A and B are shown apart, each in its own frame.
Chain A
């Protein structure tokens, strides 16, 4: 786009009669949607209790009620700190997180011996821990909204963020396997109190840095040199940054053995470069590099070859490497259109059913329709995020919102596609659903950032100005609607 920058927001015609009515901020709709999400979550919990305990007392509702309390706390924060934020994102997040909590609690019940189930009825094992992580995540959400009053502040610290991000990514690679490894990948920092997956946070930091960097460099990266088949390709020396990210991603793959994270970083960066420069050539270059890297990694690493061969034929070794994908497919197939019902399926038989394979277990119990609805909620978050990017006036906000939204969508596609045998499986968490504190906290922060940007985007131009930020960074442009 080549719209000439203008110096201020588009003028608003003065309202007749002096007193202006503020446009509705939709906070009440948000609250209503969140309560509805809470009802659905409670319905699942009650259903699972009926199926697994043969009765559903008040115990079934304790965790959903506590969860809704937390989520409404998040809502109150939005009311105060980001009153014009998008009203749909938070309810979607609420439902997904709540479903995750009650589903993990349902797995706790299913895993326990029938005699012990009553003791887990109120607070499951992992389910309750996930609820505690939700508390931490909501606190993080509140802190981000309270401290980051203008998303453009983040760009001030871009290099600091990048440095921290790189350090976070690198720590597990440097640490010995005993302190960072699990299941062949080295993604964690194991501490006596629990494990942290620093990559989840690094993702947010790096995306912020990418947005800053690309805004600064977009002019250069947009320069064309050669025109091939009607597509302008950038100058060779400008390929530097993308090559650096590509190499870094490969290093993650090599040292942390994590295909999913590596794919996420690179994919998000390419998409953001494309958005910033509007050059299709960057997509082709990115795709080429991805294919090259993928082929290179495939030929070098036996664990990737195994992944692909399991993907092509999971039944080659049904009791060994094929066991997980087969159980996932059985779960999805058994669920069919409508699912077995909460708690009725054999979701506990799917290995790592509370993290990587949670989508398969959920698909078994709420069926194709239910799982599709869950995916639609992700799609809604992503599309509302992109809509925020379209609406917000500054380039940094645009790129950051788009990057956050796209990375979420890509992550859902990669993990759900892997679980349902659309693509080879790469270990990634399912945002908001999977068990795990790092992922949950990081994704709530992601939601907070999206809401922060959307508040800026949707705020009426002449209502109270946003808190002072670095206005020099505010690259505004005309919004085409």
Chain B
């Protein structure tokens, strides 16, 4: 009986060999397929098992994790909803991560190498593992004011501390509710996602950081800066007039109202104060494309790598190859494009003695028990110095005059030196104009806040409304920070 016994022994080995081969196929060759299969929620369950850290503004969480006790244990909630959506972003099972949720995923999830020791001691001591916290620089009150003031309009408000570069406000409207996208129910998340996707107002666009628009007359600050740098003074007379037709074209540039600079010459200061198109168009042509472009670049245009740490769209000066394009570009039309953040950065730089600092959104990163700070923001990190102290001070004076007695009076605040520049930008044919205001507030000789307000296709009165909003946002910041 021994010969068949040996054969049976071999047969059993063959059967087990088949098992081994098949397991190699399932676990090794097909392993990734099964691991990443859309119906396999193992990795997800693991991720949602850990309590993700908070994203906070001062003490209040604007993104936090709530224990549901379900299979996906923690659900992400955003107590302030749409107000912070474009900064905080969302963490969605079905539609990915955006904003700070994505940029600081390692810290929030607890995977960051700096949290390794903590993770290890959690295991030893039996503490429940928790991710780290990200604290934003934003001002709760200013953010609220900006969000309220923008209301149903499409637009954006960006405010920052001119000295440190800390963002105080970053609002884009209309906004979306990240809570809907964070839903664990695929049906609910899909419904929300589709609703926002179909909305013609595009609520998921980040108008404050991610989109750029023709800046209109706010761009005159750049041309004025270039002029001052090349030897002009605020009192220098520049050619103006009711209309100006550059060489090589028949397209005439006029002013917004016949009462603006009809004389053949005005001072540079008055040209800015009244927002004199004919003056700045000719000034730009006189200075030349290179000087204007260089100055714009010094202020941050064309920077494709700016991250705060959210990515910021590059602002553009566009094509300025001949006289008509230079003339048009000098009043912020043609192909000039600016993000609201870039607008705030111009105002901040002028207020901060010509020093442009790195804008940033994150104040600090903390470990789960809040005691250990893993990372603090680099404040006052200088990016460039487009103007020296004297020219900066001259331009600051000119912008203050705009608010004192020019187009920007709506931004005045009692007892505070407010400067700025309004803008009305034509865009698509037949579409209503964009309204803009960029400005700053200086109190007791100290620059306190810089702001940019953008109202998309607001139409008539847009720049004035933008100026009002800028005023109330700056006022809120001043009340809060003294």
Q: Which residues of A contact B (CB under 8 A)?
A: 1, 50, 53-55, 113, 271, 274-276, 278, 315, 318, 326, 329-337, 344-346, 349, 363, 367-368, 371-372, 375, 378-379, 382-383, 386-387, 389-390, 395, 398-399, 402, 405-406, 409-410, 412-413, 416-417, 420-422, 477, 479-480
Contacts and interface: CB of A to CB of B under 8 A. Distances in A.
A337 B30 CA distance: 11
Contacts of A332: 23, 26-27, 31, 34
A383 B17 CA distance: 14
B104 to A, nearest CB: 24
B26 A333 contact: yes
A416 B17 CA distance: 12
Contacts, number: 150
Contact of A55 (B1, B39, B124): B124
A304 B347 CA distance: 77
Contact of B34 (A54, A113, A330): A330
Nearest to A376: B16
Given A53-B126, A274-B8, A413 B19 contact: yes
- For the complex of A and B, the 5 pairs showing the least CB-CB separation, nearest first, are A333-B34, A55-B126, A368-B27, A330-B40, A422-B22
Contact of A329 (B6, B34, B126): B34
Interface string B149-178: 000000000000000000000000000000
30 contacts: A1-B1, A54-B128, A271-B8, A274-B4, A274-B8, A275-B4, A278-B1, A278-B3, A315-B39, A329-B30, A330-B34, A330-B42, A332-B27, A333-B27, A363-B23, A367-B27, A368-B28, A375-B20, A379-B13, A379-B16, A383-B13, A386-B5, A402-B5, A402-B8, A406-B8, A409-B12, A409-B16, A413-B15, A422-B18, A477-B1
Contacts of B28: 336-337, 368
Contacts of A315: 39
A383 B6 CA distance: 10
A346 B45 contact: yes
A329 B26 contact: yes
Instruction: Name the residue in A50, A335, A375 with the highest tally of chain B Cβ atoms < 10 Å from its Cβ.
Output: A335
B15 to A, nearest CB: 4
Nearest to B27: A368
B373 interface: no
B414 interface: no
A344 B46 CA distance: 8
A333 B26 CA distance: 6
Given A55-B126, A375-B19, A413-B19, A398 B1 contact: yes
Nearest to A417: B19
Contacts of A1: 1-3
A337 to B, nearest CB: 6
Contacts of B6: 390
A374 B31 CA distance: 19
A213 to B, nearest CB: 15
Contact of B9 (A318, A371, A386, A480): A386
Interface of B: 1-6, 8-9, 12-13, 15-16, 18-20, 22-24, 26-28, 30-35, 37, 39-40, 42-43, 45-46, 69, 71, 122-129
Contacts of A420: 19, 22-23, 26
Contacts of A378: 16
A276 B4 CA distance: 8
B126 A54 contact: yes
A318 B39 CA distance: 8
Contacts of B26: 329, 332-333, 420-421
B68 to A, nearest CB: 12
Contacts of A390: 2, 5-6
B31 A336 contact: yes
Instruction: Name the residue in B9, B27, B32, B45 with the highest tally of chain A Cβ atoms < 10 Å from its Cβ.
Output: B27
Contact of B5 (A54, A367, A389, A477): A389
Contacts of A379: 12-13, 16
A403 B19 CA distance: 21
A244 to B, nearest CB: 22
Contacts of A345: 42
B19 A334 contact: no
B31 A337 contact: yes
B5 A275 contact: yes
B123 A50 contact: yes
Contacts of A480: 2
A334 B8 contact: no
A477 B16 CA distance: 30
Contacts of A389: 1, 5
Contact of A422 (B19, B35, B71): B19
A409 B15 contact: yes
A371 B23 contact: yes
Contacts of B71: 349
Contact of B35 (A336, A382, A399, A412): A336
A346 B23 CA distance: 19
Given A318-B39, A326-B39, A417 B18 contact: yes
Instruction: Name the residue in B13, B37, B40, B42 with the highest tally of chain A Cβ atoms < 10 Å from its Cβ.
Output: B42
B369 to A, nearest CB: 16
Nearest to B45: A346
A398 B33 CA distance: 46
Contact of A398 (B5, B9, B12): B5
B1 A275 contact: yes
A408 to B, nearest CB: 9
A46 B5 CA distance: 41
A186 to B, nearest CB: 28
Contacts of B16: 375, 378-379, 409, 412-413
A180 to B, nearest CB: 31
